[in-house]
Amino acid sequence: MTEYVTSADGTRIAFDREGAGPPVILVDGAFQFRAFDPATAELQRLLAERGFEVVRYDRRGRGESPADPPITLAQTLDDLRALVDELTEGTDDAVALVGNSSGGSIALAAAAAGLPVSKLVVFEVPLDEELGTDGADSLAGLREHLAAGDADATIRYFMHGMPPEWVEGARRSDAWPVMTGLAASLEPDTESLAWTQSAARSALWAGIAAPTLVLVGTETLDVMRPAAESLVANLPHAELREIEASDHRWEPRSMALTIAEFLVG
């Protein structure tokens, strides 16, 4: 059943929860929301079966959480804070965050901003070179495309670093109209990745006390393993684990078992 929390600026954020136990929030990456991503819905169910209260929400500008652009990383963190407050109301509890892809960089930003995070799990955060300008350049370009109002061109721009066959496959699929409808909501994804290059990572993440599990697929894009190693090298309490996954996609049951083992441990 869909529930709602109200973010700091009055925007309603839709979510559903499943299970009972320590609270976990799934933080989606680009193009994901509850009605469009059955694999994460299955992950939610499997984690709930393993003794967690698992929340999946529609990020601002997606699904049942409509919002006017521009959509910023600061607003996205406010939305997460509202969900954390809902789950921990009247207690001193903290919440585990599980971030997929650019959802992982959003989860890192949330932890660095001081949200009460018990543990972090991130899967294949697509980091570029530390202290590089790629992220800032991508953010500026994305904002230019959004301002021009061409959603099709915006999505093609956002996907420009991905394998060409991924882009072409998406354009030929029934999913493309849904993806173009999410264009404005991609700004926080890009902004969070730019943030990871905004200072030395050891300084940027020094305040993240939560134990962190960094996951990378057995078959993955060239950028992902160096990115995972950078996360482990610069987070205070992080470990790297390889998981059966390919083409930036994971299998829900294997993912759930890995996450549950880490959260319980």
Using a pLDDT cut of 90, give the percent of the chain over it. Answer: 92
pLDDT of 76 strictly over 90: yes
Q: Residue 202: what pLDDT?
A: 97
pLDDT of 69 strictly over 90: yes
Whole-model pTM: value is 0.97
Measure the CA–CA gap between 94 and 157, rounded to whole angstroms: 37
Q: Please check whether residue 240 lies inside any domain of the structure.
A: yes
Dihedral (CA of 177, 194, 205, 91) sign: negative
The total domain count for the chain is: 2
Note whether 47 and 122 are same-domain residues.
yes
pLDDT band of residue 167 (cuts 50, 70, 90) is confident
Measure the CA–CA gap between 50 and 146, rounded to whole angstroms: 41
pLDDT of 129 strictly over 90: yes
Q: What is the DSSP letter of 189?
A: H
Each residue's pLDDT tens digit, 87-98: 999 888 899 999
Structural contact between residues 208 and 111, judged by C-beta atoms closer than 8 angstroms: yes
Q: Please check whether residue 190 lies inside any domain of the structure.
A: no
pLDDT band of residue 208 (cuts 50, 70, 90) is very high
Q: Residue 265: what pLDDT?
A: 87
Measure the CA–CA gap between 192 and 126, rounded to whole angstroms: 11
Q: Please check whether residue 142 lies inside any domain of the structure.
A: yes
Q: Please check whether residue 39 lies inside any domain of the structure.
A: yes
Which range marks the domain in which residue 149 is found?
Answer: 134-183
Q: Please check whether residue 8 lies inside any domain of the structure.
A: yes
Q: Please check whether residue 157 lies inside any domain of the structure.
A: yes
Q: Residue 147: what pLDDT?
A: 97
